[in-house]
Amino acid sequence: MCGIVGYVGRNSDGTAQAVIMEGLARLEYRGYDSAGVALVSGEHVEIRKKSGKLSNLRSEIESDPLPPSTAGIGHTRWATHGGPTDANAHPHRGGADGKLALIHNGIIENFHALRTELGAGGVTFTSETDTEVAAHLLAAAYEDHGDLTEAMRAVVVRLEGAYTLLAIHADHPDVVVGARRNSPLVVGLGEEANYLGSDVAAFIGYTRQALELAQDQIVTITAEGVTVINVDGSPAQGRAYEVTWDAAAAEKGGYQTFMEKEINDQPHAVRDTLLGRTDADGRLVLDELRISEASFTGIDRITIVACGTAAYAGMVAKYAIEHWTRIPVEVALAHEFRYCDPIVNERTLVLSISQSGETMDTLMAVKHARDLGALTISVCNTHGSTIPRESDAVLYTHAGPEIAVASTKAFVAQITACYILGLYLAQLRGGSFADDAQSVMKDLGEVPAKIETLLGRMDRVKEIAGFMADTRAVLFLGRHVGYPIALEGALKLKELAYIHAEGFAAGELKHGPIALIEPGQPVFVIVPSPTSEHGLHGKVVSNIQEIRARGARTLVIAEEGDEAVAPFADEVIEVPATAPLLAPLLTVVPLQVFALWLSTAKGLDVDQPRNLAKSVTVE
Ligand code: F6R
């Protein structure tokens, strides 16, 4: 939420502006309520900012060009304090002389008290933001210290809440100072230039060498170097790493939208997540976790914490992990977890799932779990992000950068990673499923090719979506692992096409929701494989008949060759056969494709749906 870029280079030319604008374009998925840039130029700091998407800022700069510069900062906003107006857009100036500019991601919780204090001291505010408070505090601290880094240190100890702050000052055309607490900030290491960004996408066009910062650190970049200190002033060092993907991975690669590209990336996302996690005999090897086998064998309960799509991945994983390990698994929405007095102790594994690794709700749940003594493992897609840092161990998904706001490839990668972990636990614990782990891994290995086959058959789904632009509501039904997929299908449609959509456990229908069925009501039904246990397939086929009898238009996702569904389906969308527990990796695909093309048919912005932002870094 909110994208942040900082740059310092040696030459005073148009590079600073170009780097910052490119960084903002790559970070726009983090928020698109407004955008702004500030550059140091001569005795001044020049600011351009505009509400709305980045294109508005581009037009503004075209009509009122920025001067050449060596250093600057840029921001793309998801509004919290104050509406998405020009005045509330970042950067904000601080001090009576306006020589300082600051940008911010997060929420300063004690801003009201600080604003009152500053107001009493004669400061007048030009925006409703909490950010402007930090800008004025920093300007005042700079007056006292004459040094931007020291001023930042003095200010951050006064702030409560979560923040990343970046600041420039007209007196220092060769410096950008940043600080972070519970909010993302990474450093890009260039040649004769250095960078700051909310994530590496900000500078991936220039360098793949990055530096991860810890909590409560302050970083000062110049063209020549990077200095990191702790808030108490003691020297610190970031952790250097190389970004494993390049700028092309963060581009659309010939597709119309990032979402379309990312849906099509899914075979790679699953394949790459499986890579390197088994030995020559097919046994799972997770040395990367650096957790002793003994710590795992003591686990008697697993709690998965996550939000949104990641939580649905957790719900899918619950069925599989319980089945393979016989350890009870609970899935908690991360933002509820802390407040429900969770039963968590040293024998609990708290598994967080997060694409961004920055979701504040999930981060806070992880911290709470650690305080309670749990073993914490994070399934995460983003190197250098906060949640893995705050966890005992991390199992990375290798989905590559996910830019579209709606999560797709991260979802299948998350399920894959959770399955790897579940099978690893089964292997460690022994018992009947330990022997099965290798054969499940073999089945998982075949999934990428099956997703590819499925993606090649999506024309009819696209066509159906195209006809349904006027649809007012869509229902989704599933059972067992199909239930979270129904929830995910509904979420995709809500967020992308702004259509009322609900997912239900199919068995729940007769307990109330069936009253929603009226003639013509579209209902997607995710049908389990005919090979599923406990006669599940037959039960879902009966559910289809029940809604069809009441006039529903049934859009049925079923395993290829499943002839039982055809008589009751208005449309059958066939997915390749796989083991029942692996089916979610396939059945979700038509639902993603449907949401993508329905949103497109309605003329909406697929990659940047209204009111949303990727990476929700506020609670
Ligand atoms: C929906 C979506 C969100 C995220 C959720 C968690 O398409 O993208 O529901 O899944 O905000 O985000 P991460 O995985 O970054 O923690």
Provide the residue ranges of all domains of the chain, joining segments of one domain with +. Answer: 3-250, 261-454, 457-601
Atom of ligand 1 lying closest to residue 616 CA:
11
Q: Ligand 1: distance of its center to the CA of 408 in Å?
A: 10
Among protein residues, the one whose CA lies closest to atom 5 of ligand 1: 308
* pLDDT tens, residue by residue, 506-539: 999 999 999 999 999 999 999 999 999 888 999 9
Cβ-based neighbour number of residue 240 at 10 Å: 12
Query: Can 614 be counted among the known catalytic residues?
Result: yes
Within this chain, domains 261-454 and 457-601 share the same CATH topology: yes
Q: Ligand 1: distance of its center to the CA of 97 in Å?
A: 42
Residue type, 393: A
Q: What is the pLDDT of residue 165?
A: 97
Question: What is the sign of the dihedral through the CA atoms of 594, 596, 600 and 604?
Answer: positive
CB 381 near ligand 1, within 6 Å: no
Residue type, 404: A
Identify the architecture of domain 457-601 in CATH.
Answer: 3-Layer(aba) Sandwich (3.40)
* pLDDT tens, residue by residue, 47-82: 999 999 999 999 999 999 999 999 999 999 988 888
Query: Can 418 be counted among the known catalytic residues?
Result: no
Q: What is the pLDDT of residue 127?
A: 95
Spatial separation of the C-alpha atoms in residues 183 and 188, rounded to whole Å: 17
Sheet order of strands, 329-333 included: 329-333, 301-306, 348-354, 375-380, 393-396
Would you say 434 and 417 are in contact if contact means Cβ atoms under 8 Å apart?
A: no
Spatial separation of the C-alpha atoms in residues 71 and 440, rounded to whole Å: 53
Nearest CA among 598, 590, 408 for reference residue 496: 598
Nearest CA among 578, 518, 581, 586 for reference residue 552: 518
CB 616 near ligand 1, within 6 Å: yes
Atom of ligand 1 lying closest to residue 310 CA:
10
CB 407 near ligand 1, within 6 Å: yes
Using 50 as the pLDDT threshold, list the residues of the chain that sit under it: none
Does the pTM surpass 0.85? The reply is yes
Q: What is the pLDDT of residue 436?
A: 84
Would you say 376 and 352 are in contact if contact means Cβ atoms under 8 Å apart?
A: yes
**Tally of residues, the chain:** 619
Collapse the DSSP code of 444 into the 3-class scheme (helix H, G, I; strand E, B; otherwise coil) and give the result: helix
CB 364 near ligand 1, within 6 Å: no
Q: What is the pLDDT of residue 120?
A: 96
DSSP 384: T
CATH 3.60.20.10 fits 3-250, yes or no: yes
CATH of 261-454, one of 3.40.50.10490, 3.40.50.2300, 1.10.150.120, 2.60.120.10: 3.40.50.10490
> Which residues are within 8 A (CB) of 11 and not within 5 positions of it... i.e. 6 or more apart?
70
Q: What is the pLDDT of residue 282?
A: 86
